[in-house]
């Protein structure tokens, strides 16, 4: 960080222990170019985040009122790329993992060393102030049953892959019975055909808390630009759960789009229609993998995908399209 910065770095520092707060503020006083706002509890910190801009968050985890994990999430929701540093007396690995899943960039264990703290803060701020570059586009697709994304948005995902974008597919299943061994095998084959990364943990099927934790970790790791998920009015419990995660766990994601499944309700009102003529053959091949390995899902028949595409094609020059409902973001 250059010393001739035209604007000071605005720091939100959250710490309830007075002796620790005085120490860290002394660290900041040794670094020209930083303006520190101190909050002594999590609720005050969240109010400050909502009332003015900050360039850096430094927070303890054990706070009165809202804890540090909640403060980090609020900061991350408002500043998806803003640096967040945790200072804590907790030495157990699970606290660090929870902090990182909440959106922290680094964790430092107390007692703090001034040289290490100053070096870490300068490094984080310098990285955040580096000249803007084109960041890679990351797309996350959620599904409630294996094969949903291939059927509902497979062509669109292939088009994203063709652009060089990273595409990750994560199933959310309400029950272990939602995925047979044959379906799991087919899902891997289909993912290879489409060109996406499949992240599946069958041990979490039926574990709502575990699957939500998996999604939060995936979101914090990937920080996707776009999320695809089933429509919120889907009648199937697993698909509805996937839709709710997409709606509730992704406030910082720029664009969230809902796709159709075999159990989507009549309230599905798409406003975006993506031409997938070029991808239709491979999409049908990916869906055929389910029949090929002995998982004859009626709702994943390739001809049904083509029928959906032609039905919605009437909204775009009678071609073959995939239809999406806008959950968040601007319609094309």
Q: How do the domains of the chain map onto residue ranges?
A: 9-128, 138-328
Range list of β-strands (E), 110-220: 138-143, 166-171, 197-198
The CATH classification of domain 138-328, taken from the options 3.40.50.1370, 3.40.50.10320, 2.60.40.1180, 2.40.110.10:
3.40.50.10320
Between CA 27 and CA 121 the distance in angstroms is 10
* Residue ranges in the chain modelled with pLDDT below 50: 1-5
Provide the token pair at 174: 């309400």
CATH number of 9-128: 3.40.50.2300
* Phi (first) and psi of residue 41, to 5 degrees: -150, 165
pLDDT given for residue 69 in this prediction: 94
pLDDT digits over 145-192, tens only? Answer: 999 999 999 999 999 999 999 999 999 887 777 788 899 999 999 999
Handedness of CA 275, 279, 284, 289 (dihedral sign): negative
> pTM score, two decimals?
0.64
Provide the pLDDT for residue 4: 40
Common-topology check for domains 9-128 and 138-328: yes
Residue 6 CB partners (closer than 8 Å, separation 6+)? none
* Nearest-angstrom CA–CA distance, 191 and 139: 14
Of the candidates 309, 328, 330, which has an alpha carbon nearest to the alpha carbon of residue 320? 309
**pLDDT value of position 295:** 81
3-state SS assignment for residue 176: helix
- How far apart are the C-alpha atoms of 323 and 165, rounded to whole Å? 20
C-alpha distances out from residue 105 to 26, 97, 110, 125, 299, Å: 22, 11, 17, 11, 42
Question: Measuring CA to CA, which residue among 134, 110, 25, 80 is closest to residue 250?
Answer: 80
Looking at residue 145, what is its pLDDT? Answer: 92
* Token pair 């914090």 in the structure block, residue: 220
Q: What is the pLDDT of residue 1?
A: 38
How far apart are alpha carbons 257 and 153 in whole angstroms? 10
């Amino acid at each position: 960080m250059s010393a001739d910065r035209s604007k000071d770095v605005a720091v939100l520092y959250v710490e309830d222990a007075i002796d620790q707060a005085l120490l860290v503020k002394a660290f900041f006083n040794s670094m020209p170019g930083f303006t520190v706002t101190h909050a002594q509890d999590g609720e005050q910190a969240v109010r400050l985040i909502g009332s003015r801009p900050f360039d850096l968050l430094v927070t303890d985890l054990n706070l009165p009122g809202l804890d540090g994990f909640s403060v980090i999430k609020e900061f991350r929701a408002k500043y998806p790329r803003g640096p967040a540093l945790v200072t804590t007396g907790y030495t157990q690995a699970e606290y660090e993992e929870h902090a990182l899943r909440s959106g922290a960039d680094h964790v430092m264990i107390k007692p703090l060393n001034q040289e290490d703290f100053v070096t870490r803060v300068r490094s984080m701020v310098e990285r955040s102030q580096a000249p803007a570059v084109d960041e890679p586009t990351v797309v996350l697709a959620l599904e409630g049953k294996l094969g949903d994304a291939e059927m509902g948005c497979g062509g669109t995902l292939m088009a994203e892959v063709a652009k060089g974008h990273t595409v990750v597919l994560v199933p959310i299943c309400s029950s272990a019975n939602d995925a047979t061994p044959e379906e799991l095998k087919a899902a891997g084959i289909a993912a290879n055909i489409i060109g996406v990364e499949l992240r599946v943990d069958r041990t979490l099927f039926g574990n709502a808390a575990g699957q939500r934790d998996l999604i939060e970790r995936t979101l914090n790791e990937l920080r996707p630009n776009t999320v695809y998920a089933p429509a919120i009015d889907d009648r199937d419990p697993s698909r509805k759960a996937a839709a709710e995660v997409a709606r509730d766990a992704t406030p910082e994601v720029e664009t969230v789009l809902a796709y159709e499944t075999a159990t989507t309700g009549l309230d599905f009102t798409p406003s975006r229609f993506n031409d997938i003529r070029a991808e239709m053959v491979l999409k049908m091949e990916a869906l055929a993998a389910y029949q090929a390995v002995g998982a004859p899902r009626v709702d994943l028949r390739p001809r049904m995908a083509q029928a959906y595409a032609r039905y919605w094609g009437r909204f775009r020059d009678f071609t073959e399209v995939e239809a999406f409902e806008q959950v968040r973001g601007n319609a094309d």
